[in-house]
Each structure stands twice: as structure tokens, then as C-alpha cells.
């Protein structure tokens, strides 16, 4: 039985031109990619009124090429090593205009002009929806020989006349410069901090193409990776994508915003032979990898066995694609790990220090307003942050120590970048003040060990003699200031929980305790001590200038507690409250 080949209907033009690229301007990518595959070193795109022009100096076309390939269906000008294997020809943007004019020439050959009348196409298809493709072409496509030109010049000039309203609106809403920058392999902008490193890493993988954009007389030279005001890390992160057979099947590079903030145009794009595949969401959508907006860079596919799909937004499924995605995903997760490390152990320290500065300013305001509850709450937050800051500083210093010992390989760009971020954090003014003011100095060689400083004997003697609660007095002895004040606080905390019936792992609601204290207080026997001294100290608690009533899960004290006079005052206040509790509960 003879095989019958079904006819190709003209409606396929509509499918390609309007449906494949509906709602965006990715059709423009198809035409500029044709220019790149044609070997053009230069592309000029001009928009004026309702018309769009594209000029390139690639290899051009002759009559046969125009008729059978450029305006044929399912054929392509492209060789195997070029990007557009699927060959949708000149129809990518056929639905956007009334007329498409192609003027082209190959070296030492004639100039040809082709005119595709899409306005006539739409009229005919409305009347004859079942008209065949070949019959339609006879009616709407005209190819004329222009002149003989035996020069060495070759070119292709496209003119889209009568762009429709939707297309004009899309062009108006799209940043064409940015679209071209991220779609094509345009030259790297001279302001980019890592231009030399990037060029060295990329080598001759993909050829740059110069693109000029002219919109109503405003001319722009398109470049990529303009630095603007972004402060990138000094470390340029780059790695090869290697398959299980040690073949390099791709490359990944990225640069990091060391401020720790998200980049306004953050993206990691996938490239194949200079053309962007998909969009800025491809890392999460296709690689299923976590992504940090502090990076931008590129994933470059080098494996020719992986083919692009019909929508130009991904690749055809294959074992080679699976391998590429798997290996690239591991490197993308490594990048995310750097950002996570920064958030926790580098810029995270700076952010905590800044948060404490803001809390200190709020405390000053609330003390003036006599918002005692808020002051207590904010001081509690400050103390919690302080503990986290010192913990993170120690971790950062331990990382540096491992680097110095050679326990961490700094030839790896991941570790290089982490070390840079750690050094930036420890050298920042916000963190330096904690390094300088911490009594148990985290810069000490004996990291983590309390710094011992004997109290003057007269201070110890005074406390032991004058404290009302003798059990508390017994806890006062040799040790540094923070250690002694912590002992006092621990004692009162335990006593309060015991008297109030609070479980060991629960917090004390000090605001409620203060309210009861103010309501029921009667001065105890002070054994001849100055009542005024106690009351002044207690007023300090109520005004938030002392930290004895902070969150009891946090045992760090403010910097002024380094002074033994203030520490003595805290211990006396602790003694004062404990004695009052004894009186209160005995009623």
C-alpha cells in the first residue's frame, strides 16, 4: 500500500508565528540568533514608529536558500553546531506585523528581496482555513532579484512593517537593552569588576557579538554585567561541570554582592552557544536548586549531545541532559551554601550588631518616656543578640584558624569567598566594638575561657559583711566582675523560682513581679545601711538603667557592668529583692 503524505496546511504559519511566542518578545531572539549563527560580528536593531529593522553582516542567503529554507517549514540554515536545530525560519515573528521584508546577499552573489504579506495571509486564512502551505506561499511570498553585486560583502536586512498594537505595547513595557543583554553574548561592560577573570575562565567558548539598539534615534551599545553601584566580593567564583567520565560538559561562574543584600537584577542564566535558554527562574524551575538573590552569573552548557526544545526554554530530555542537570545542581547548591554561611556567620554578625544599635536608641527614647516594660524587653533582646554575636565571632575566628592551619583548602573558590566574607565581618566597625569591649575578650589566645581579675579585698569584705541574705554572701568571692555578677543573678533567679513555684526551664515574668513589689513593699531591716542607697538603686531598675530584671535565660551584662561599683550595686539590689520576697511570703 502506497504511503500518503498528509498536506501541510497554511495555518502552521499562525501556529509558529503567533502561538509559539505569544505574549512576549522572545521572537526577537530567534532573528538575532539567526544573525549569530550566520557568523555576523555585529547586529543593529532599530525601532521607529510602527516598524522594526534588524541588520546583520552574516553569511546571507541566495534565492534557493530563501525559498526552501528561510521560508520553508521544518528546515533551517543552521549547521549541526549551531543553536537553532529546529529551523522555524522567518516565521517566528510573522504574527506581529503586516509585512516582513527580507533583503539579503551572499559573498559575490546577487542581492535578493523577499516580501511576506502577513496582512494578506490573515485575510486568506479567514476565508480558506484549509488552504495548503504551498498554495498560500504562492499568494503571499514574493522573491525578487535586486542586482548583481560581486563584492565580498554579505548581509541580511529584515524589516517588520506595521507592528500590531499588542507588539508595540510589549516592546514599550520591555527593557529591550536588558532583554538583549541577558539574551545574547554581548561584550562585557568595562565597569565589571571581574571582567579579566571572566574572560580567562570562558576562553573561546562563545564568541561575543556587538549589538547596537536604536529606538527612535536614541542609540545604545549593549553590554552586559554593568557594575553600577554594586559592591561585588573580590573572589570570582567559577567551576567546571564534570560528568562521571571526567569530561567537562559545562561551566558555572558567579559573582556575589558582599553587602549581603539582594541584587536588583539578580539571576543565574543558562547559556548555550551564546544564547540564553529560559529565563531568570530557571535555576529553581529546571534544576530544582535553591537560589540566593545575592548572586548573578551563568551556567554554560557545552555538551553538544543535548538539544534545545521547540519552545527555546529548555532542552530535549536525554541521559546527557540528566547528567548535566545533576552535576550543575550540586554546584548551585554550593553557591546557596555560601549565601547561607554569610547570613549566619559573616554579614549575619554585622546585622545583629546593627540591630543592637537600633535597640539602644529605642531604649534611650523609652527611658525618657518612662516605658519601663519596653525598656526591659529591649534590654533582654540586646542581651540575647550579644550572646549570638560573641558565639558567631568565635565561630568565624575558628574558621580563620582552620584556614591558617591548612585544614581548609583555600584553592577552592567556595572557601576563598567564605574567608573573604568572614574577614569583612570581623573587620567591620559594628563588630570591632564587640571585639574591643567584651570583658572575656574573644580575641584572647585562651578563646572561650573567663578572664580572671581578682576583686579588691575591701569590696569582698564589704559585701560579705553587709548583705542581708547570708547564703548570697557566701557566693561572693574571687573571680572577674562578670563572673561575680552572674553568680548574684543566678542566685536570685533560683530563689525567685523556688518561692514563686516556677519550673526551672520556665521564665520569670518580671513585670508582674515588679507590680506586686511596688504594691506590697515594706523596707526590711537594713542593719544600719543607707536606705537612700537602696532606693536609688531600685529606681535604676524601674527606669531600665540596670539589667538585673532582664530575660533570665540570658546571663550577659551590659558593658557598664564591667565596673565593680555597678556590680556591687546589682548584688545589693539582688539581696534587697530576695529579702523582700522572704518577708512577702512569710505573711
pLDDT at residue 296, rounded to an integer: 82
Q: What is the pTM of this model?
A: 0.68
d(CA 343, CA 338): 9
CATH 3.30.565.10 fits 11-174, yes or no: yes
Phi-psi region of 39 (alpha: psi -120 to 50; beta: other; left: phi over 0): left
Between these two residues, 516 and 480, which has the higher pLDDT value?
516
User: Judging by beta carbons within 10 Å of its beta carbon (0-12, 13-18, 19+), is residue 383 exposed, middle or buried?
Assistant: buried
Mean pLDDT of 120-149: 90
pLDDT at residue 498, rounded to an integer: 66
Cell triple for 392 = 558567631
CB distance 62 to 106 below 8 Å: yes
User: How much of the chain, in percent, has pLDDT values that exceed 90?
Assistant: 35
Mean pLDDT of 338-343: 93
Residue 369 pLDDT greater than 70, yes or no: yes
Tens-digit pLDDT profile for residues 371-412: 878 888 888 888 889 989 999 999 999 999 989 888 898 899
CB distance 43 to 212 below 8 Å: yes
pLDDT confidence tier of residue 365, bands split at 50, 70 and 90? confident
CA angle 95, 286, 195 (to 5 degrees): 85
**Domain spans, the chain:** 11-174, 346-437, 457-586
Q: Which residues pair with 9 in a beta bridge?
A: 132
Mean pLDDT of 14-37: 74
Mean pLDDT of 535-555: 43
Tens-digit pLDDT profile for residues 186-197: 888 888 889 999
d(CA 451, CA 441): 8
CA distances 114 to 28, 70, 102, 157, Å, are 19, 10, 5, 10
At 311 the three-state DSSP class reads coil
pLDDT at residue 499, rounded to an integer: 60
Q: Which residues pair with 111 in a beta bridge?
A: 105, 147
Tens-digit pLDDT profile for residues 546-583: 443 333 333 333 333 333 334 455 555 555 555 555 55
Which of 348, 331, 249 minimizes the C-alpha distance to 295?
331
d(CA 260, CA 421): 9
pLDDT confidence tier of residue 352, bands split at 50, 70 and 90? very high
Rounded to the nearest integer, the mean pLDDT of the chain is 77
Amino acid at each position: 500500500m502506497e504511503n500518503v503524505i498528509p498536506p501541510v496546511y497554511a495555518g502552521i504559519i499562525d501556529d509558529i508565528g503567533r502561538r509559539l511566542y505569544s505574549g512576549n518578545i522572545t521572537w526577537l531572539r530567534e532573528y538575532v540568533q539567526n544573525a549569530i549563527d550566520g557568523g555576523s560580528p555585529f547586529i543593529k536593531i532599530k525601532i521607529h514608529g510602527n516598524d522594526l529593522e534588524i541588520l546583520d553582516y552574516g553569511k546571507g542567503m541566495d534565492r534557493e536558500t530563501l525559498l526552501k529554507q528561510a521560508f520553508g517549514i521544518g528546515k533551517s540554515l543552521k549547521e549541526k553546531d549551531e543553536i537553532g536545530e529546529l529551523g522555524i525560519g522567518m516565521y517566528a515573528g510573522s504574527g506581529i506585523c503586516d509585512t516582513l521584508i527580507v533583503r539579503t546577499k551572499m559573498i559575490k552573489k546577487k542581492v535578493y528581496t523577499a516580501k511576506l504579506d502577513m496582512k494578506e495571509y490573515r485575510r486568506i486564512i479567514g476565508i480558506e482555513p484549509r488552504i495548503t502551505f504551498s498554495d498560500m506561499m504562492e499568494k503571499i511570498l514574493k522573491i525578487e532579484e535586486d542586482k548583481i553585486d560581486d563584492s565580498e560583502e554579505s548581509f541580511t536586512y529584515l524589516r517588520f512593517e506595521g507592528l500590531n498594537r499588542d507588539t508595540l505595547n510589549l516592546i514599550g513595557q520591555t527593557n529591550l537593552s536588558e532583554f538583549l543583554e541577558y539574551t545574547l553574548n554581548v561584550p562585557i561592560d568595562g565597569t565589571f569588576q571581574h571582567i579579566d577573570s571572566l574572560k580567562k575562565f570562558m576562553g573561546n567558548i562563545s564568541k561575543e557579538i556587538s549589538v547596537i539598539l536604536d529606538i527612535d534615534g536614541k542609540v545604545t551599545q549593549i553590554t552586559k554585567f554593568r557594575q553600577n553601584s554594586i559592591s561585588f566580593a573580590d573572589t570570582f567564583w567559577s567551576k567546571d561541570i564534570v560528568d562521571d567520565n571526567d569530561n567537562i560538559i559545562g561551566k558555572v561562574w558567579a559573582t556575589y554582592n558582599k553587602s549581603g543584600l539582594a541584587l536588583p537584577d539578580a539571576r543565574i542564566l543558562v547559556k548555550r552557544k551564546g544564547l540564553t535558554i529560559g529565563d531568570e527562574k530557571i535555576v529553581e524551575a529546571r534544576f530544582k536548586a535553591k537560589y540566593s538573590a545575592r548572586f548573578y552569573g551563568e551556567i554554560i552548557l557545552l555538551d553538544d549531545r543535548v538539544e534545545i526544545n521547540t519552545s527555546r526554554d529548555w532542552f530535549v530530555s536525554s541521559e546527557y541532559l540528566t547528567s548535566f542537570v545533576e552535576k550543575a545542581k550540586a554546584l548551585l547548591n554550593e553557591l546557596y551554601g555560601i549565601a547561607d554561611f554569610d547570613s549566619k556567620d559573616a554579614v549575619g554578625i554585622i546585622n545583629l550588631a546593627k540591630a543592637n544599635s537600633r535597640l539602644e536608641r529605642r531604649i534611650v527614647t523609652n527611658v525618657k518616656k518612662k516605658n519601663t516594660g519596653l525598656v526591659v524587653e529591649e534590654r533582654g533582646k540586646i542581651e540575647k543578640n550579644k550572646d549570638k554575636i560573641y558565639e558567631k565571632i568565635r565561630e568565624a575566628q575558628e574558621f580563620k584558624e582552620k584556614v591558617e592551619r591548612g585544614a581548609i583548602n583555600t584553592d577552592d573558590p567556595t572557601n576563598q569567598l567564605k574567608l573573604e566574607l568572614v574577614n569583612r565581618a570581623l573587620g567591620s566597625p559594628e563588630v570591632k566594638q564587640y571585639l574591643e569591649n567584651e570583658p572575656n575578650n574573644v580575641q584572647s589566645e585562651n578563646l572561650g575561657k573567663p578572664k580572671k581579675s581578682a576583686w579588691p579585698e575591701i569590696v569582698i569584705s564589704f559585701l560579705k559583711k553587709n548583705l542581708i541574705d547570708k547564703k548570697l554572701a557566701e557566693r561572693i568571692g574571687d573571680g572577674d566582675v562578670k563572673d561575680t555578677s552572674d553568680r548574684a543573678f543566678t542566685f536570685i533567679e533560683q530563689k525567685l523560682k523556688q518561692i514563686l513555684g516556677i519550673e526551672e526551664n520556665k521564665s520569670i515574668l518580671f513585670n508582674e513581679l515588679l507590680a506586686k513589689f511596688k504594691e506590697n513593699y515594706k523596707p526590711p531591716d537594713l542593719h544600719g545601711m543607707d536606705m537612700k542607697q537602696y532606693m536609688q538603686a531600685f529606681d535604676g531598675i524601674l527606669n531600665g538603667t540596670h539589667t538585673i530584671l532582664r530575660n533570665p535565660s540570658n546571663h550577659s551584662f551590659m558593658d557598664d557592668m564591667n565596673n565593680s561599683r555597678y556590680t556591687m550595686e546589682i548584688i545589693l539590689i539582688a539581696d534587697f529583692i530576695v529579702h523582700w520576697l522572704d518577708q512577702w511570703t512569710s505573711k
